[in-house]
Structure 1
Amino acid sequence: MNFKNQLKLILVTIICTLGHLLSAQNIEIKGKVIEEVSKQPLAYATVTLFDTTTKATLTGVITTDDGSFKIETDATQFYLQISFMGFVTKTITQFDIKRAKVDLGTIILKEDAAQLATVLVEAEVSSSQFKLDKRIFNIGKDLSSTGASALEVLNNVPSVNVDIEGAVSLRGSSGVQILINGKPSILTDDGGALGSITADMIDRIEVITNPSAKYDAEGTSGIINIVIKKDDRKGINGAVSVNTGLPDNNSIGISLNRRSEKFNLFTQLGLGRRVYPRDSENTNEDIETGTSILSKGTDLRVEKFYNITLGTDYYINANNVLTLSGNFAYEIEDQPSDIRFTSIDGTNTVTSEWNRTETTEATNPKWQYELVYKRDFTDHEDHDLLISATGRSFSKDLTSLFQDTTISGTQDRDDTQNTRTDYGSNNYTFKVDYTKPFSDIWTLETGVQYQIDDIGNDFEVQDLVDGEFVTDLGLTNNFEFDQNVLGVYLIGGYEYEKWGVKGGLRLEQTDLTTRLVTTNQLNDQQYTNVFPSIHTSYKVSDAVSLQAGYSARINRPGMRELNPFFNIRNNFNIRQGNPNLMPEFTDSYEITSIFDIGKTSLNFGVYHRYTTEVIERISTFENNINTSMPENVGTNSTLGIEFNTKYRPAKWLTFNVDFNYNQFDRKGTFNTAIFDFNGNQWGSKLMAKFDLPADIDLEAVGNHRSKVKTVQGARSANTFLDIGVRKKIFKDKGVISLSIRDVFASRFFETFITQNNSRASSFSQRGRFVAIGFSYGFGKGEAMEYSGGKRR
């Protein structure tokens, strides 16, 4: 073959190869799956692509939370099937291919009545999901949450810690904003109130470490959103759960739902009684004189709670939905305590002993009501308008009787005091959110929110003098708190193939007024702030994705931090507020890598937070009395890493690991004290889940939190274990469970404080909790151990 013929052959080969490559380019097929009756998105439906000739499966995906899907193929002859248990499978054979893309638009699936009558649908989804700006943890397969409250469920969520007093932290930092169904709630205003939400009521928990500008800027370490279950399947559905345990821990939960053509009626009821015992020890010592005050004893928090939610969705038409819902919670509290005090002189001799007993009773009625209108536009599946108005009301009527009785010593410690607290809070939030996609690539989001907080705390202390109670004017006052916040945001989003970015700005105007009624002391603060945010993600491959984000946040002091008056539960350890406190500001950055490799999913992230006007409680000592008050004390720079992984070495065994480490650098002064120091802290969780024969599951969750240096001292390390076991019964419609929290009674809270010539230590512990639970689903419902996702 001569050179010319060889050249022709090479050219022909190249042209044929290029033609084959061009003709074999991937075709992208997308669409959105909805239900025929409710017009709601159908999440987790299976989308499968088949070869037309061989009928062999080419590839497949499942639909996302909004019912959408994308699937790619290099085949030229294929057809598509969409299936979901309880619905008629749909087959699509005709495709309009334009520029290697197919847009199937909205695909409607019809219910299969015969199948629904005989098949129980149990949707098993991943325990966690990663979105562009949040992580989603589905509840129900978490066995150790059986019989637990929302606070106890939160403690098993990666990156989240809840101490025994109910304080929630995220990545070791406080300043967390807790939402319910994406909005502030009466049940999040007080940490203890989350006890009226049982684990059975929770669908999923969303952890947002770097919120976008769409969210309220409150919460320097992020947002935790608790999503409550709501069923919208056609017909009557329901479930009931019963829990009992030791210490006294009893609750009942009922969920009912009726879905018709135009209405979706839903209700949830929770009621119960819980007892939280606590053993505590406190020591205040004057190093210079050697004198000290020791206190040791037990207190209880006995709660009876009633919680009911009623609501309805009214489907005006296929594109317009109106939702009206209300929630009423009522709590009855009883807090008895018995504390023994000991006074010791410089020679380590006991000079006096006395008992201080407390009898506290309180009632807490809480209301919340909400009206929501949503319009879906027909030009694009993500084009929608959401308008909502929410009202919240919370009041507390509390009375306490304190009695001191001398046991030994020359000093008469006998004393009797009464306190009365009338607390009232009214909050209103009005919000408009609008999303407009200009194409499949570009999206614009905008909205406005106005929040009104009107709070009052009327506190009175009375001393028993000559057989009559006399008001102590020095400790009695009425504190009023009024805060209005107007927020406006604008977000632009770009998403194309493997890369997406979302950037936005939020403008907030804050108007705060506090007033001490007796002295008419006013404190007005007005400030305007801009909070930018940006999030981006890049899909390296099907197994590897990268995410990065930045947001600016604020932590506004609340009623408890600003109110200068205090309770007198322990006269030697006093906590009070500071009406001159300024808000914290935080810049938060993070980069996360997500790997999905075979039987292992792994997430590794690096984050940095820089906070100004840091709020810390500063203790001062006088005559062995420790008085702590929040103060703005400089800056804090935190650099940390976070690691989460899920590994399933066998069908019957799954491991989940969560590890968080950060180091911090503190700079600041208060009065003459300098608070410049650095330190580190780390925490880890290990969950092992065993799928045993006879439909029995076993789970163990181990937690460890390291020792950490604080502004004036340190907080001790802590390790504890929770376990749970569950068995399905009654053809999977029922579930019986046993859980033990803090198996070895090793969970405690211990702090040490050193200030000038004084030091203090504090130790408290609640002990082991055992709970047995039973749940049963009826109608098209199922037992309240549902793992998450949108139920059908």
Structure 2
Amino acid sequence: MKTQIYNSFFLILGIAFLLLSETKAQTAATNGEISGKVLDETQKAFPYASISLLNAKDSTAVKGTLTGDNGTYEFKGLNAGKYLVAIYVVGYKKTFKGPYSIGAEKQSHQVGQVQLAADAQQLKGVEIVKQKPLIERQIDKTVLNIENSVLASGNTALEILQKAPGVTVDKDGKISLRGKQGVNVMLDGKPTYLSADQLANLLRSTEGTAIQSIELITNPSAKYDAAGNSGIINIKLKKNRNYGTNGSVFAGAGYGADYKVNGGLDLNHRAKKFNVFGNGSYSLNNRFQETDIARVNGTSTDQTYFDQTSHSDVKRINRNYKAGMDYFINDHHTLGFFLNGYHTNGDEAANVLTLIGDQPGKTDSSVVAPNTNTRKYTGITYNLNYKGTLDTLGQEISADMDYSRYSGVQNSVFNNMYKNATGQPLKPAYIFRNASPSIVKIWGAKVDYTLPVNKEMKLDLGLKTSFVQTDNNFLFENFVNNEWANDKGKSNQFLYDENINAAYANINRKFKSTTVQLGLRLEQTNSKGNSVTEQKVVKRDYLNLFPSVFINQELSKDHDIGFSYSRRIDRPDYGSLNPFIYYVDLYSFRQGNPFLKPQYTNSFEFSYSFKKNLNVTFGYSHTNDVMSEVLLTDTAKKTIFISVQNLAKQDSYNMNMSYPIQITKWWSSNNNLTVYYNKFRTPNLLGLPYESGRTSFNLNTSQTITLNTSTKFEWSGYYQSKQVYGTLLIAPQYGIDMGASKSFMDNKLSIKFSANDIFKLQKSQITSAIPSQNYVVNERWESQVFRLTCTYRFGSKDIKGARQRSSSSEAEGKRVKSGR
């Protein structure tokens, strides 16, 4: 392994040297530059306008780009010749500028500010206006523009992710990308500091009205943390633009089997020297969940049949907040501070009935259990940041320091009453309870530096360090003689400390029609897990190199191909390392594994694009020591339990195809198909070799009908075929959502209606891929929900919002483990 790492290191250094040499040889040949700025009809900066560079001789396309947030654009590395600049946006008159001559006498042209003229046209009563597409494909990522989507209103971030191409979300909120788990989720480029459970809670409380876009990055560069074997999902929240004060307020209500309410406020004020911002939201969600487990436990000669049904009523209250300030020292240096946090409270009342017999359909005894669960989680992150522009060529430096603290407690009471075949008491009730308080503290710091070597080459360098401390207690008590007594054999304290130090370098080089990016990241990890009660200590210290390669080739104006490679790591989340046993009910529990090892993944991806619309990618990844949830039955204790184990290997193949279609001027369609094959194998599971594999596919489609400038209708659907993950076989899942929106008062007031899972199709069924394990788990939850949301925007329309910051810990907080 070390030989492979060092060979990769020297190979990348060698290619980088060749790129630098090639740069010096070609700089003189391709030094031309044309730049400018686009304004709308009100003379404000026009972001995301389409700009084409044409040959003046025959008007053939040379290059294309989009304007940035400030309306500017530029074409660099131009050969000698005459060029035209074409600016085109739907709803505005097409504008041409030029010709501009590039040669030895003049190599640079400034087009200046170009103001577009509105050209709104009426087609059968339908007015066409400018709008970013719902799905955009870029070289290194896929972008979902959520801001104007009808279905985003009233839906949470987690529900919106379920509609994203290649993304699946299970009933527990665990996210997969192109058939693989282990996704690193960020907000505005900042870490979420949460485990899968807590992340799901946060995304459930993040309103879709607050989201600007979602970025899907399947093969991240070395600039990002090496964690996340299936890639990164970055959720970008809305931001304001220019000077003044403004804000928005929203309120919504929903109903499925029970009622839900949500609301929030967003404020921003910007002056010449500073920008102050803040927002807060509240949501109350009452819902239900039903779980049925039918299983056979025992040997061929001694079998016990369990038929368990459970109905849970869950009440969850979420509060999220964020506040901060940017201070503009001068035009080139900015100092910022922000804090964000959340509070989650939940109550659950579950009624569990377990029928037990020695034959199918026969009941010899039963257990009736009215169980209760209360939980409370809080988290807060403080960030201090700095950004400086060192010269006009684009040399930049940025720094971040963070401190985060998370605390949580979950209290469960299990009241198990034993009945005989006739429903009469069989023996005294068994009553026990669990308490699981936990505290997580995270410190982090990072520095990033960008150096433009010349107009065609850019070098990125960075350093990062993080420290994590966790303290998890698990208290198990039995109710004996009318008082609670601690069971020391089942109680436990688990301490975990971790330090990760990292450094990276990225080189990006643009040729005439080829872009090459090489990266190398080094991460040193030092960890110590201490099960205090059981006196078990697991220490690990390791050093890894993570190379990455990205190549994009423009074959012609209509055809592009690309290749990418990266090596990545996934470390166990802190809770999964804790060896305590957490009970779901008397016969079902979850157990941690302090001996979990990190998993390593090598990912390759080929891509093809036709006219920037039809996009096809082919991917392959190989993972060693893959961490997977394993659901097994214990024949001696007659229980069923979940644990995370290291299977030996996983091979994953995938093909993704997306094709947005403009059917008419008023009807657009986005379609995505992902086909993947996952294969798992390990030499020893329950004493035997294990291997499983299956070809599966996901299909997503969304249709948008724009009736006029203020009225829009959308519907979307998805289908996920049967798939295998680790030892689990997951049955097909599917659903259809609909929505409509109407705006008033010059778009200041908007009303949106949405219906999730309108035909009540969503459900889950899990069976075992291990032949010796005989169980079926059926789950149903409150998926059909109707929502109405009203949003009112007030104040100045010319506000520049807070800078989007990326804090100093990209992956640590994602592994914070909450109780379930």
Query: TM-score range, shorter-chain basis?
Result: 0.7 to 0.9
Which of 767, 775, 785 is the equivalent residue of 1:769? 785
Query: Who is 1:567 aligned against?
Result: 582
Larger Rg: 1
- Consecutive unaligned residues of structure 1, counting only runs of 5 or more, are 1-24, 113-121
Query: Shift in Å at residue 60 of structure 1?
Result: 8.6
Which of 62, 68, 72 is the equivalent residue of 2:73? 68
Query: Who is 2:276 aligned against?
Result: 265
Per-residue CA distance 1:304-352 (angstroms, 9 max, x = gap): 1211111111111111111211112111111221111111223642112
Per-residue CA distance 1:143-162 (angstroms, 9 max, x = gap): 22221221111111111111
Q: Structure 1: how far apart are the matches of 2:533 and 2:553?
A: 59
> Quick one: structure 1 residues 187 and 581, their matched pair in 2 at CA, closer, same or farther if it must change by over 3 Å?
closer
Per-residue CA distance 1:614-647 (angstroms, 9 max, x = gap): 1123324224311222211111112221001100
Could you tell me the TM-score, scaled by structure 1's length?
A: 0.86
> Quick one: structure 1 residues 614 and 409, their matched pair in 2 at CA, closer, same or farther if it must change by over 3 Å?
farther
Query: Who is 2:619 aligned against?
Result: 607
Which of 80, 104, 125 is the equivalent residue of 2:132? 125
Per-residue CA distance 1:38-61 (angstroms, 9 max, x = gap): xx9973257689999xxxx99996
Query: Who is 2:645 aligned against?
Result: 631
The SS at the match of 2:204 is helix
Q: Which moved more, 1:384-393 or 1:461-470?
A: 384-393
> Quick one: structure 1 residues 209 and 702, their matched pair in 2 at CA, closer, same or farther if it must change by over 3 Å?
same
Query: Who is 1:427 aligned against?
Result: 442
Which of 429, 439, 444 is the equivalent residue of 1:414? 429
Q: Does 1:204 align with 2:213?
A: yes
> Quick one: structure 1 residues 389 and 455, their matched pair in 2 at CA, closer, same or farther if it must change by over 3 Å?
same
8 Å contact from structure 1 (residues 423, 457) kept in 2: yes
Query: Who is 2:34 aligned against?
Result: 30
> Quick one: structure 1 residues 259 and 339, their matched pair in 2 at CA, closer, same or farther if it must change by over 3 Å?
same
Structure possessing the higher relative contact order (Cα contacts under 8 Å, 6 or more residues apart) = 2
8 Å contact from structure 1 (residues 296, 340) kept in 2: yes
8 Å contact from structure 1 (residues 47, 62) kept in 2: yes
> Quick one: structure 1 residues 78 and 94, their matched pair in 2 at CA, closer, same or farther if it must change by over 3 Å?
closer
> Quick one: structure 1 residues 779 and 124, their matched pair in 2 at CA, closer, same or farther if it must change by over 3 Å?
farther
Which of 107, 132, 152 is the equivalent residue of 2:159? 152
Query: Who is 1:172 aligned against?
Result: 179
Query: Who is 1:352 aligned against?
Result: 365
Q: Structure 1: how far apart are the matches of 2:748 and 2:409?
A: 42
The SS at the match of 1:43 is coil
8 Å contact from structure 2 (residues 82, 100) kept in 1: no
Query: Shift in Å at residue 258 of structure 1?
Result: 1.0
Q: Structure 1: how far apart are the matches of 2:348 and 2:515?
A: 53
The SS at the match of 1:157 is coil
> Quick one: structure 1 residues 389 and 243, their matched pair in 2 at CA, closer, same or farther if it must change by over 3 Å?
same
Give the residue type in structure 1 aligned to 2:531: L
> Quick one: structure 1 residues 73 and 371, their matched pair in 2 at CA, closer, same or farther if it must change by over 3 Å?
closer
Give the residue type in structure 2 aligned to 1:245: G
Alignment of 1:219-258 (within 5 A): 219-247=228-256, 248-258=259-269
Alignment of 1:200-599 (within 5 A): 200-247=209-256, 248-286=259-297, 288=300, 289-346=302-359, 348-381=361-394, 383-407=395-419, 408=423, 411-412=426-427, 414-596=429-611
> Quick one: structure 1 residues 61 and 216, their matched pair in 2 at CA, closer, same or farther if it must change by over 3 Å?
closer
Which of 683, 704, 708 is the equivalent residue of 1:689? 704
Give the residue type in structure 1 aligned to 2:244: G
The SS at the match of 1:689 is strand
Q: Structure 1: how far apart are the matches of 2:207 and 2:82?
A: 52
Q: Does 1:707 align with 2:726?
A: no
Query: Shift in Å at residue 68 of structure 1?
Result: 3.1
Alignment of 1:617-628 (within 5 A): 617-618=629-630, 619-622=632-635, 623-628=637-642
- Consecutive unaligned residues of structure 2, counting only runs of 5 or more, are 1-28, 118-128, 806-820
Q: Structure 1: how far apart are the matches of 2:608 and 2:274?
A: 43
8 Å contact from structure 1 (residues 667, 677) kept in 2: yes
Query: Shift in Å at residue 79 of structure 1?
Result: 8.6
8 Å contact from structure 1 (residues 533, 552) kept in 2: yes
Query: Shift in Å at residue 566 of structure 1?
Result: 2.7
Q: Structure 1: how far apart are the matches of 2:415 and 2:184?
A: 38
8 Å contact from structure 2 (residues 244, 798) kept in 1: no
Query: Shift in Å at residue 223 of structure 1?
Result: 0.9
Give the residue type in structure 1 aligned to 2:690: F
> Quick one: structure 1 residues 664 and 401, their matched pair in 2 at CA, closer, same or farther if it must change by over 3 Å?
closer
8 Å contact from structure 2 (residues 446, 462) kept in 1: yes
How many matched pairs?
741
Query: Shift in Å at residue 76 of structure 1?
Result: 8.4
Query: Shift in Å at residue 665 of structure 1?
Result: 3.2
Give the residue type in structure 1 aligned to 2:356: S
Q: Structure 1: how far apart are the matches of 2:665 and 2:567?
A: 43
Give the residue type in structure 2 aligned to 1:662: Y
> Quick one: structure 1 residues 499 and 621, their matched pair in 2 at CA, closer, same or farther if it must change by over 3 Å?
same
Query: Who is 2:675 aligned against?
Result: 661
Give the residue type in structure 1 aligned to 2:705: F
Query: Who is 2:15 aligned against?
Result: none
Could you tell me the TM-score, scaled by structure 2's length?
A: 0.84
Query: Shift in Å at residue 240 of structure 1?
Result: 1.5
Query: Who is 1:680 aligned against?
Result: 695
> Quick one: structure 1 residues 686 and 782, their matched pair in 2 at CA, closer, same or farther if it must change by over 3 Å?
farther
Q: Structure 2: how far apart are the matches of 1:82 and 1:707?
A: 47
Alignment of 1:51-200 (within 5 A): 62-64=66-68, 67-70=72-75, 97-99=102-104, 102-104=107-109, 124-186=131-193, 190=198, 191-200=200-209
> Quick one: structure 1 residues 290 and 781, their matched pair in 2 at CA, closer, same or farther if it must change by over 3 Å?
farther
Query: Shift in Å at residue 275 of structure 1?
Result: 2.0
Q: Which moved more, 1:567-576 or 1:287-296?
A: 287-296
Q: Structure 2: how far apart are the matches of 1:173 and 1:777?
A: 39
Q: Structure 1: how far apart are the matches of 2:38 and 2:561?
A: 30
Q: Does 1:43 align with 2:47?
A: yes
Query: Who is 2:665 aligned against?
Result: 651
Give the residue type in structure 2 aligned to 1:151: L
Query: Shift in Å at residue 694 of structure 1?
Result: 7.5
Per-residue CA distance 1:676-701 (angstroms, 9 max, x = gap): 23321111111111122583211111
8 Å contact from structure 2 (residues 590, 641) kept in 1: yes
8 Å contact from structure 2 (residues 692, 769) kept in 1: no
Per-residue CA distance 1:141-188 (angstroms, 9 max, x = gap): 332222122111111111111111101001111111111121212456
Per-residue CA distance 1:53-75 (angstroms, 9 max, x = gap): xxxx9999641457433299999
Give the residue type in structure 1 aligned to 2:173: G
> Quick one: structure 1 residues 406 and 253, their matched pair in 2 at CA, closer, same or farther if it must change by over 3 Å?
same
Per-residue CA distance 1:682-721 (angstroms, 9 max, x = gap): 1111111112258321111111111123443511111211
Q: Which moved more, 1:754-763 or 1:267-276?
A: 754-763
Per-residue CA distance 1:395-452 (angstroms, 9 max, x = gap): 1132222222345256326222222121111112211111101101121111011122
Query: Shift in Å at residue 370 of structure 1?
Result: 0.9
8 Å contact from structure 1 (residues 200, 253) kept in 2: no
> Quick one: structure 1 residues 477 and 61, their matched pair in 2 at CA, closer, same or farther if it must change by over 3 Å?
closer
